[in-house]
């Protein structure tokens, strides 16, 4: 008889990057190995689409109330689960009541997975009034009560070790077969420097914009932003594509030089470098800020570049704009890194072992 895994998650299936690239890519592999999968999101699709939009306060309240009711009913179904996997939190608001019931009342073991410094306050301006309900402190208890913890990088794993001795690092990974299965064209007449992310993280480009403006005086290139909202700054080289899941890879493949600037803070230390991994999977020559996990992804000048300050950003962007050969070499070495360390294929056995004795 096949064993059943309950994935207790915040978001609907296929919608959130943290779920898509942490564990959803492995579900087919787990099914092929005899497991039955059940996904139990806190938010249904209607509430998910409403929650991060302006207004609709009563619709949000009704949707969240329904989410808590479904979580309550789920507690009575847990007897069917052979394994319980909780990603980030069982409920997005309030204390860890469901985790406490699962671990302390029902005496069920669960695997706890996280991929950001989620114990730190981080919220959108749209829902700033509700941020006190998030109970960021609950993450420590979710870790303490877990049977085992899966962290996205060494920094997160070290934090988790304060609360639980059974911690394993599994990186956020790239599906190079079914999803990131294209490569950029480095032979295009005009190179494209590119960045992808949400409008909430676009402030990381503040130190890059003056550099791009200066480089425009010396080189012909496009500066492509792929995001949910257009940038507020203006540049002669600026191009904007609205992010969609359907065209994500096609749009990313337009980039020939991918950048990931960051600020040195605790939140950035917890990031799993996914933006850079996406670039590298498509053989895009990549420049990352040397913060957190980025320094374990990029070996400077071998499979990409690290840039710590504006002078280094300008120097390394210049090298890549001047040399198609260099872009091709770094792109191929970056793809090799993904295949060997950060691909689904390279990590799928680790997921299988989570659910096997």
- Taking the chain (357 residues) in consecutive chunks of 10 residues, what is each chunk's mean pLDDT? 92 88 94 96 85 75 91 96 97 94 97 90 55 82 97 93 96 91 91 92 94 97 95 95 93 97 78 90 97 93 96 98 97 97 95 90
Task: Check residue 123 and give its pLDDT.
Answer: 53
Residue (of 275, 274, 249) closest to 115 by Cα position: 274
Q: Are residues 163 and 200 in the same domain?
A: no
Task: Check residue 265 and give its pLDDT.
Answer: 75
Angstrom CA distances, 152 to 105, 175, 204, stand at: 29, 16, 21
**Percentage helix, strand, coil, to 5, in the chain?**
45, 15, 40
Task: Assign residue 222 the CATH number of its domain.
Answer: 3.40.50.2000
Q: Are residues 161 and 212 in the same domain?
A: no
Backbone angles phi, psi at 260, to 5 degrees: -145, 80
- Rounded CA-CA distance 205/265 in Å is 15
Beta bridge partners of residue 174, listed in sequence order? 343
Task: Check residue 315 and give its pLDDT.
Answer: 98
Q: Report if residue 122 sits inside a domain.
A: yes
Q: Report if residue 176 sits inside a domain.
A: no
Q: Are residues 150 and 235 in the same domain?
A: no
Instruction: Order across the sheet with 238-242: list the strands.
Output: 238-242, 222-227, 192-196, 257-260, 285-288, 305-306
Question: Contact 235/223 with Cβ under 8 angstroms?
Answer: yes
Q: Report if residue 310 sits inside a domain.
A: yes
Task: Give the total number of structural domains in the chain.
Answer: 2
| CB-facing half-sphere around the CA of 357: CA atoms within 13 A | 2
- What is the pTM (predicted TM-score) of this model? 0.87
Q: Are residues 323 and 290 in the same domain?
A: yes
Q: Are residues 141 and 250 in the same domain?
A: no
Cα four-point dihedral sign 126, 128, 133, 135:
positive
Give the position of tokens 């301006």.
Answer: 125
Q: Are residues 7 and 156 in the same domain?
A: yes
Q: Report if residue 271 sits inside a domain.
A: yes
Task: Check residue 1 and give its pLDDT.
Answer: 59
Domain housing 216: 192-342
Q: Are residues 152 and 28 in the same domain?
A: yes
Q: Are residues 260 and 330 in the same domain?
A: yes
Q: Are residues 147 and 206 in the same domain?
A: no
Task: Check residue 267 and give its pLDDT.
Answer: 67
Q: Report if residue 14 sits inside a domain.
A: yes
Helix (H, G, I), strand (E, B) or coil at 341: helix
Residue (of 88, 55, 19, 54) closest to 229 by Cα position: 54
Q: Are residues 165 and 21 in the same domain?
A: yes
Q: Report if residue 352 sits inside a domain.
A: no
Q: Report if residue 177 sits inside a domain.
A: no
Instruction: Order across the sheet with 111-114: list the strands.
Output: 35-41, 3-9, 83-87, 111-114, 148-151, 167-169
- Rounded CA-CA distance 288/303 in Å is 11
Q: Are residues 244 and 335 in the same domain?
A: yes
Task: Check residue 354 and give its pLDDT.
Answer: 94
- Rounded CA-CA distance 223/202 in Å is 14
Q: Are residues 305 and 199 in the same domain?
A: yes
Q: Report if residue 197 sits inside a domain.
A: yes
């Amino acid at each position: 008889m096949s064993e059943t895994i309950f994935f207790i998650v915040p978001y609907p299936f296929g919608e959130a990057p943290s779920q898509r690239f942490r564990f959803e890519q492995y579900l087919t592999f787990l099914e092929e190995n005899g497991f039955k999968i059940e996904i139990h999101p806190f938010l249904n699709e209607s509430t998910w689409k409403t929650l991060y939009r302006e207004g609709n306060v009563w619709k949000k309240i009704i949707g969240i109330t329904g989410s808590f009711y479904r979580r309550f009913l789920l507690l009575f179904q847990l007897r069917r689960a052979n394994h319980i996997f909780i990603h980030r939190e069982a409920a997005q608001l309030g204390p860890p009541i469901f985790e406490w019931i699962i671990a302390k009342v029902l005496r069920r073991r669960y695997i706890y997975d996280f991929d950001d410094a989620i114990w730190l306050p981080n919220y959108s301006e749209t829902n700033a009034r509700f941020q006190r309900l998030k109970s960021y402190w609950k993450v420590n208890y979710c870790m303490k009560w877990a049977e085992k913890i899966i962290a996205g990088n060494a920094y997160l794993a070290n934090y988790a070790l304060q609360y639980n001795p059974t911690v394993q690092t599994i990186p956020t990974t790239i599906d190079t077969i079914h999803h990131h299965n294209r490569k950029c064209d480095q032979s295009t007449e005009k190179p494209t420097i590119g960045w992808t992310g949400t409008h909430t993280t676009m402030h990381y480009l503040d130190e890059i914009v003056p550099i791009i403006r200066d480089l425009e005086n010396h080189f012909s290139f496009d500066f492509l932003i792929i995001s949910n909202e257009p940038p507020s700054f203006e540049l002669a080289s600026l191009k904007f594509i609205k992010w969609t899941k359907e065209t994500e890879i096609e749009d990313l493949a337009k980039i020939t030089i991918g950048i990931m600037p960051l600020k040195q803070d605790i939140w950035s230390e917890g990031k799993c470098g996914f933006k850079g991994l996406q670039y590298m999977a498509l053989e895009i020559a990549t420049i990352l800020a040397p913060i957190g996990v980025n320094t374990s992804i990029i070996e400077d000048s071998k499979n990409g570049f690290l840039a710590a300050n504006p002078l280094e950003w300008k120097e390394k962007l210049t090298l890549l704009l001047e040399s198609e050969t260099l872009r091709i070499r770094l792109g191929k070495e970056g793809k090799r890194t993904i295949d060997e360390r950060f691909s689904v294929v390279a990590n799928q056995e680790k997921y299988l072992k989570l659910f096997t004795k």
